[in-house]
Amino acid sequence: MLKRVKLLLASAACALVIGQPAFAADEPIKIAGIYDLSKVYTFISPQIAQGATDYINLINSKGGVEGHPVVYTVGDHGNEPQRGIEGYEKFKREGYVLFDFLSSPVSRAVLPRAMKDGNPMLQTFVGRADAVDGDVFNWIFPMAPTYWGQAANIVKFIEDQAGGDAKGKKVAFLYLDYAFGQEPIPILKALAEKKGFDLQLFPYPLPGTDQASAWTGIRRYKPDWVVHWSFAGLHVIASKQMKRNKIPMSKFISVNWINEVDLKNIGHERAKGLKRSEPVVAGREPVIIQEILNGLYAKGKGSGDVDNVGATYYNTGVAIYAIALEGMRNAIKSGASFPLTPAAVKAGMESIQGFDVHGLMPPVNLSSSNHGGDGKTRISEWDGEKWVPLTDWFVAESDLVWQEVKKHSAEYVKSGK
């Protein structure tokens, strides 16, 4: 397995060197993105990597980060924790200073090693939600809203749609019955008790293709809202069940993992009214996406299919690595020597303030105690052609979310799990 990872990583590294401008003797900044490119998360990882690669190539074309070129090496762990660990150990030996795995099982497997070694690790939209607690997970950087935070924000939207009072409203929580899908349940239950809305849980088993009984239950429940915690083709199956059970799409709100391919498979017209939690802006309007189109793709230097540029997951890749490189920039500006040490990278990441990549996402504010940011999202709706924001960026119930964070991080301190 390790040999296969090495071959993939080597070819990706070469791809990033070709066409880069000549740099002075400045040492490179090395980042490893080891993803699932072949098994479970193939619906997202390639677009994340393409967005990240293009952003880094754009920065390198302008002289790098404070004059230092960025080497971004992409490899495949196939969603297998052991392969992720092998890749981590390989890159650690080669002087890489930031690691990203984009997989909950792999991130969880590598996390104890990164913590013990003192190596910064990205964990955006995957892994442990309590890793936003920088006091405990001092080397882990989610840099984005947790699923707990997304759930709280969705409830706030539901409350606002009811005129500021959700009491008596019926919310069906539909979810894939494993750790990812189950994660928001404690927050939803706490908010149901606090705000007086009725919450009913509707799980469906792995692999997620059999949702019929859950949707029959939802039809009988007659909810005001259906909140769906799932991804990719499982949204398509849900849409078919909604049609069969005569549940309007306007009642449907998804976690952030739904993209343009899913909408195409649902049917653009059929998907009208569908809503989602949105941590990153989709589309080609953002300034940085225009820069990538004009600076790379217009010159034949894009790293992949131009049709992906502006898509939800592509833009997410741009956002993640824009934040990461801002941390590197902060480290260098603070006087860190080269090669950058993990401690310097950590300090640079923790000093990020008000960074939004020219409006691609809400401003990111990190600190030594908060590695997740402010938790802001917005709710957007599909109008048949594009995503239309229904709200500004907002955050709700931060105290409750952080109470859950601290509860779980304290358990980690006690048990190491």
Q: Coil, strand or helix: which one is 363?
A: coil
pLDDT attached to residue 21 = 53
pLDDT tens digit string along 181-231?
999 999 999 999 999 999 999 999 999 999 999 999 999 999 999 999 999
Q: Are strands 378-382 and 275-278 parallel, antiparallel or unpaired?
A: antiparallel
- Tell me which of 3 and 342 has the higher pLDDT: 342
- Tell me which of 273 and 21 has the higher pLDDT: 273
CB 275 within 8 A of CB 253: yes
Q: Coil, strand or helix: which one is 147?
A: helix
Q: Coil, strand or helix: which one is 204?
A: strand
Q: Are strands 387-389 and 121-122 parallel, antiparallel or unpaired?
A: unpaired
CATH for 2-145+287-350?
A: 3.40.50.2300
Amino acid letter at 57?
Answer: N
CB 273 within 8 A of CB 226: no
Instruction: Tell me how far CA of residue 132 lies from CA of 145, 146, 307, 369, in angstroms.
Output: 9, 8, 33, 8
Amino acid letter at 59?
Answer: I
Return all residues near 283 (Cβ < 8 A) that are at least 6 apart: 289, 310, 315, 386, 387
Q: Sheet containing 275-278: which strands, arranged edge to edge?
A: 198-204, 170-176, 225-229, 252-254, 275-278, 378-382, 387-389
Average of per-residue pLDDT across 252-278: 98
CATH for 147-278+377-415?
A: 3.40.50.2300
- Kindly report the pTM of this predicted structure: 0.93
* Tokens found for residue 329: 């920039």
pLDDT attached to residue 26 = 75
pLDDT attached to residue 221 = 99
pLDDT tens digit string along 331-359?
999 999 899 999 999 999 999 999 999 99
What does pLDDT average to over the chain?
Answer: 94
pLDDT tens digit string along 139-181?
999 999 999 999 999 999 999 999 999 999 999 999 999 999 9
CB 189 within 8 A of CB 173: no
Instruction: Tell me how far CA of residue 85 lies from CA of 82, 107, 358, in angstroms.
Output: 5, 9, 35
Residue 10 has pLDDT above 70, yes or no: no
Instruction: Give the residue range(s) of CATH 3.40.50.2300 domains in the chain.
Output: 2-145+287-350, 147-278+377-415
Average of per-residue pLDDT across 108-118: 98
pLDDT attached to residue 417 = 87
Q: Are strands 378-382 and 387-389 parallel, antiparallel or unpaired?
A: antiparallel
pLDDT tens digit string along 11-52?
344 344 434 455 544 799 999 999 999 999 999 999 999 999
Calpha distance 375→279 (Å, rounded): 9
Calpha distance 330→66 (Å, rounded): 9
Calpha distance 297→342 (Å, rounded): 33
CB 394 within 8 A of CB 157: no
Residue 5 has pLDDT above 90, yes or no: no
> Taking Cα atoms as reference points, which of 387, 287, 331 lies closest to residue 70?
331
